[in-house]
Amino acid sequence: MNRADGLLADGGATPLADAARMLNAELGLIDRSETVPLESAAGRVLSEPVTAKRNMPHFRRAERDGYAVKSEDVTTATADEPVVLSEAEEPLKAGETSYVHTGSAVPEGADAVVMIEDATESSAGIAVHEAVTAGTYVTPIGAELEAGQILYETGDRLRPGDLGVLKGSGIEAVTVRERPRVAVIPTGEELVQETPAPGQVLETNGLVGAALVEHWCGEPTYRDVVTDDRDALAAAIERDLGADLIVTSGGSSVGARDLLPAVVEDRGRLLVEELALRPGHSASIGVVSGTPIVMLPGTPIAALVVAWLLVRPALSSAMGAETIAPPTTLARIESDVASSPDLRTVHGISIQETETPSEVPTAKFVDGGGLPSLSRINGWLQVGESTTEIQQQELVSVERWGDGPC
């Protein structure tokens, strides 16, 4: 057996920040890249900078509906004494004008646009009632970005709006880091994938875990249930050592059927035996043949909490990107909250909106750690290690997990 230095010698729980640091160090940075079309690039992390291939705009663009003119032709135009121009095709000559729409190209020969409300049609031509100077309501070529300009750097995660910028600048595909490959292995002799008999439980943690990995821009492989048997668990781990990360659920505690930490320690190193976290205290982290293994608890909410706080940021770190902070809602807690020192506590919350939109909503605790309670949770309250009490009616920041990918 090989016990890692990161595991506390006295058997105490490992702080979440330390556990995350050790996991990220073992997982490292994904050094594989691939080129993907823009339609598949949202949420992906760039592995090299991207530079614009064309100016934006790549033509002189009209900023208003109106008439393109030579500014020198209308320097004397007023409401009482308009300048009359004749309509013509480009290139415009002295005394000529051409109608333009917002966003359309300004004709050659023109250097300004007169707004439509400052001109009128007459039998003699277009009467301009307002003088303009060169450049009025004209966006020059390259005003928004120039060809060769760096748009995004290595490590930037592409948002949906970024794809429009890339396409507009002439980019059709980008080179991104490959998604981390994650093997998701549910364990437990009581678990089944179809209608359960008495004493059996439908497998859900692996299903949820694989969906979360994909939502967090990883590439999951959802494995079948592995029973509580040392040889079977060892074989399952050996099978997936080619993955970047292995995530198991169940079998991580200290019961007679909780065999995974010992199986991992027999074959590699145990980095974390238990976390200073509730729920999720029984989660473990190890590494076998260079592949890190996160052992989630079997309780659904505990498994979700550990996955969010450890697996999600680890996947971002592996792609060289920052973890996106979840959106938050300010709410008033309905009852007192007590927490042990040096322990991070996470509470499932149901945010009760008020009838008056301007009023602060109430944060109500959702009892239970089982699967049904997840349907009632729409927010999460984290109580940090240095906080031991939050009083009733105190304003708290409730996190909205899962509202955005990656």
Dist CA 270 CA 14 (whole Å): 12
Residue 360 CA to residue 335 CA, distance in Å, equals 15
- Cα separation, 240 vs 248, in Å, equals 11
> 3-state SS string over 301-338?
HHHHHHHHHHHHHHHHHHCCCCCCCCCEEEEEECCCEE
How many C-beta atoms lie closer than 10 Å to residue 328's C-beta? 13
| pLDDT computed for residue 256 by the predictor | 59
Residue 224 DSSP class:
P
| Residue 388 backbone phi and psi in degrees, to 5 | -110, -10
Residue 87, H or E segment: strand 83-87
Q: How high is the pLDDT of residue 305?
A: 96
Structure confidence at residue 173 (pLDDT)? 98
**Which pLDDT does position 10 carry in this prediction?**
40
Inter-residue contact 77 to 129 (CB < 8 Å): yes
Please, what are the domains in the chain? 2-32+179-318 (3.40.980.10), 35-56+143-177 (3.90.105.10), 61-139 (2.170.190.11), 328-399 (2.40.340.10)
Per residue of the chain (406 residues), what is the pLDDT tens digit?
444 444 443 458 999 999 999 999 999 999 999 999 999 999 999 999 999 999 999 999 999 999 999 999 999 999 999 999 999 999 999 999 999 999 999 999 999 999 999 999 988 999 999 999 999 999 999 999 999 999 999 999 999 999 999 999 999 999 999 999 999 999 999 999 999 999 999 999 999 999 999 999 999 999 999 999 999 999 999 999 999 999 999 976 666 567 999 999 999 999 999 999 999 999 999 999 999 999 999 999 999 999 999 999 999 999 999 998 999 999 999 998 888 888 999 999 999 887 777 889 999 999 877 788 888 999 999 998 888 889 999 999 999 997 666 6
Tokens of 161: 């709006």
What sign for the dihedral angle of Cα 137, 141, 143, 145?
positive
The structure's pTM equals: 0.84
Structure tokens at 230: 């040392």
